[in-house]
Amino acid sequence: MSNMLSFHSISPAKVLRGDKAWEKGKNLIPLISHRPILIGRSKATSKIREQIKIGLSRLGLKVISAELNHDCCEVDINRIQKLLINTNCDAVIAAGGGKVLDAGKLLANRLSLPCITIPTSAATCAGWTALSNIYSPDGAFIRDETLEACPSLLIFDHGFVRQAPPRTLASGIGDALAKWYEASATNTSSKDGLVQQALQMARVLRDQLFIDGLEAFQNPNSEAWVRVAEGCALTAGLIGGIGGSNCRTAAAHALHNGLTQLEFSDKSLHGEIVSFGILVQLHLEETIGNNQLASQARKQLIEFLQLLNLPTNLNDLRLDKIINQRLEEVCRFACKDESDIHKLPFNVNTDMLLEALKYSRKQEGLIDFRESIRGAKHLD
């Protein structure tokens, strides 16, 4: 029996979810802060941020606004940190997509301030977690940073999130599916009870996404949308908290980190790249790990991803013209010594990953995904 000490930041102190969650949740913020800084980025969500600012001002709070110019990167963090200090802010409210939420959490963590996250899409579980991914100003992944705690308050307002394009929900589904495919590949022999329980949650989440994902993608007013959006933005974060650092990422996210080093003609979302990375990981499991079930799982997943307009090859990511030398640089980054790709139960090096990427250019026969889930609750 292992006696290894494990540290877990499992969840935000409080979570409010549902229609009009903001109207209820805003009344909790004066218990946390009197002078918060509100950060965001996208013009598409500026009206939501304005609604947040007006609502808090009516409660007597002095709200300072700041906008990111890039993804979560040190340039923006340092600039906003100076503004926060100079204006004596006592908390950070991050309202936006995953990179905005990561930036808010990172800023709050570095100054030991409370953080309140208000997701405006279900594209990631960043509003939940005690982790921030840090990028260069050009959007290249640099590293992740573990934080001291999850946010003090997460407000998941369905009305806010429904305003996001369907593409963001599809991206969230791709990112959330990785919880199962990555964690199950790296922890099947784990004797840790919490890890085993997190794996079962990841399996149930995967099945929920398979069953409800297409309807949720097509109809944001459906009950399926609620289950899927909350699964992507909330449950996925809980799984990572319960399972800990060994129950989060493997090859799919490692490849994502490598691919962000390239220049995209049309920038892909985090979960879009991760969903493609799952397919590459399954190919590695089949060809290197001798997992014969991986081929079937890959074919099932390809059909499902295509229903959601998620990428299944380099062409879908608009990277099919990238020369092999650049792809080798991607694979070298993904296979760095500290990369999570090495959590897989078999060795993967740059050449192996490069071959898997080349394979993704080929057309493959597909099975009918909808037939494959009919009458079956679990897909392995």
pTM for the model: 0.93
Q: Is the pLDDT of residue 48 over 70?
A: yes
Give the DSSP per-residue string, 210-270. HHHHHHHHH-TTSHHHHHHHHIIIIIHHHHHHHH-GGGS-SHHHHHHHHHTTSPPSSPPPH
| 63: its two tokens | 């709200």
Q: Which candidate, 241, 214, 202, 204, places its Cα nearest to that of 304?
A: 214
**Helix, strand or coil, per DSSP, at residue 363:** coil
What's the CA gap between 124 and 43, in Å, rounded? 19
Element (H, E) at 348: none
Average pLDDT over residues 325-333: 95
Residues 219-272 pLDDT 10s: 999 999 999 999 999 999 999 999 987 777 999 999 999 999 998 777 899 999
Tell me, what amino acid is at 255? L
| 147: its two tokens | 């934080």
- Cα 216 to its chain centre, rounded Å, is 18
What's the CA gap between 121 and 220, in Å, rounded? 12
Task: List the domains of the chain with CATH numbers.
Answer: 14-162 (3.40.50.1970), 166-373 (1.20.1090.10)
Q: What is the pLDDT of residue 369?
A: 39
Residues 134-166 pLDDT 10s: 999 999 999 999 999 999 999 999 999 999 999
